[in-house]
Structure 1
Amino acid sequence: MDKTDLDTRKGLPDALRVLLETYPRDGWTRDPGFDGLIRFWLDRHMMFRRLMAEMETGTELLLDRKTAPDAFARQLSRYGGMFVNGLHEHHTIEDAHYFPRLRAKDKRIDRGFDILDADHHALDGHLNAFADTANATLRQLDDRDRLQSQAGAFRDRLSDMARLLNRHLIDEEELIVPVILKFGSADLGG
């Protein structure tokens, strides 16, 4: 089993955390290099986490029969669409623009960008399954018993997606933010 696989990984390999040792997470915001690009990047990551949390809360409310199916459908359609479209766009920009430039800055962490790229491909499959499960749930709005059952499956999919996404985002942050803090963001468009 590949220890860098998103489904099983507990964190980045130690060899890729070399810059994180010099630029630990708890000091990022105090670093003079903590600029608009880093802030924007971390804000995007927080937005994805918040969207997941909102969908998890909405699904639990539906399962507990504390929200109406139509209110759940509106929320899921809105937040689910924002989540899927936003994450696809975010990963596309990273793969095409940021990762190639960041990769060249420090060859010691080159393998980390291969891992993040593999994560993006793995997450695409999970995003497709997420969308399929969300749509299957929305198709059951007129049958409360079936809706409850399908919403349970959707909750499980959300939980798995949140776990995988969080692992990816943490690892991405801990690889990329130290690179930007060390080398700056002038050539990144930030």
Structure 2
Amino acid sequence: MSDDLHARSGLPEAYRYLLADLPRERWHGQEVAAMARFWLQMHSGFRREVAHMDALTGRWRAGQLALPDLHRQLIPTLQQFLQHLDGHHNIETHHYFPTMRKVEPRIGAGIDLLDRDHDVIHGHLDSLFQTGLAFHQGVSGNAPTAGDSAARLAEAIDKAGPALARHLDDEEDIVVPLITKHVDHFKG
């Protein structure tokens, strides 16, 4: 299996060993550390935001949502999504991932994989920002090309969604069991 985010169909086997002690089927309830549950909630929020943006652009593409309504509903969600995901990744990369490498050295290459994913995803975030800005400026300025800008933003959302979904799943497969196993290092 490839390590490339766009080519992966799941977390490479070498990084799945933590799941043996805490498989996904057992991620409900108190067996999972509070910090890991919080992580899952954050990821769930990102998934909801992407699904909401997909639904809005789908309605617009189907002619069920006017361009000004798309703008009014999509831009605030996009802004929130970009801010939250960027902040989340910065905290992971600079705080949590170094701690994870320290307490579970064997997973270091898996953490490197997640960091590389962040770089790929940040390329998508930049594209979302740029296309979102062009869409906002087009609608705000009543530009005749605002529809083209909306189409480019919708395409950027289409491209970012699967990569983010793959990363979130793979990150959870490492992070949830690791935090639960080493809970004392992640309190406070």
- 1:31 Cα offset (Å): 5.3
Q: Is 2:33–2:179's contact at 8 Å kept on the other side of the alignment?
A: no
**What pairs with 1:60-99 in structure 2 (closer than 5 Å)?**
60-99=58-97
User: Unpaired runs of 5+ in structure 2?
Assistant: none
Root-mean-square deviation (CA), in Å? 1.9
Task: Give the 4+ runs in structure 1 shifted more than 4 A.
Answer: none
2:36 is aligned to 38
- When the two structures are superposed, what TM-score results if normalisation uses the length of structure 2? 0.90
SS at match of 1:104: helix
2:175 is aligned to 176
Amino acid at match of 1:90: H
- When the two structures are superposed, what TM-score results if normalisation uses the length of structure 1? 0.89
How many residues align structurally?
Answer: 186
Hey, what's the Cα distance between the residues in 1 that align with 2:29 and 2:50? 28
**What pairs with 1:1-190 in structure 2 (closer than 5 Å)?**
3-30=2-29, 32=31, 34-141=32-139, 142=142, 146-184=145-183, 186-190=184-188
Counterparts in 2 of 1:126 and 1:46: CA distance versus 1, 3 Å:
same
Hey, what's the Cα distance between the residues in 2 that align with 1:109 and 1:51? 30
Q: Is 1:62–1:68's contact at 8 Å kept on the other side of the alignment?
A: yes
Hey, what's the Cα distance between the residues in 1 that align with 2:106 and 2:30? 22
Identity over the aligned pairs, expressed in percent?
Answer: 35
Amino acid at match of 2:21: T
- 1:36 Cα offset (Å): 2.2
Q: Is 1:20–1:174's contact at 8 Å kept on the other side of the alignment?
A: yes
Hey, what's the Cα distance between the residues in 2 that align with 1:74 and 1:4? 38
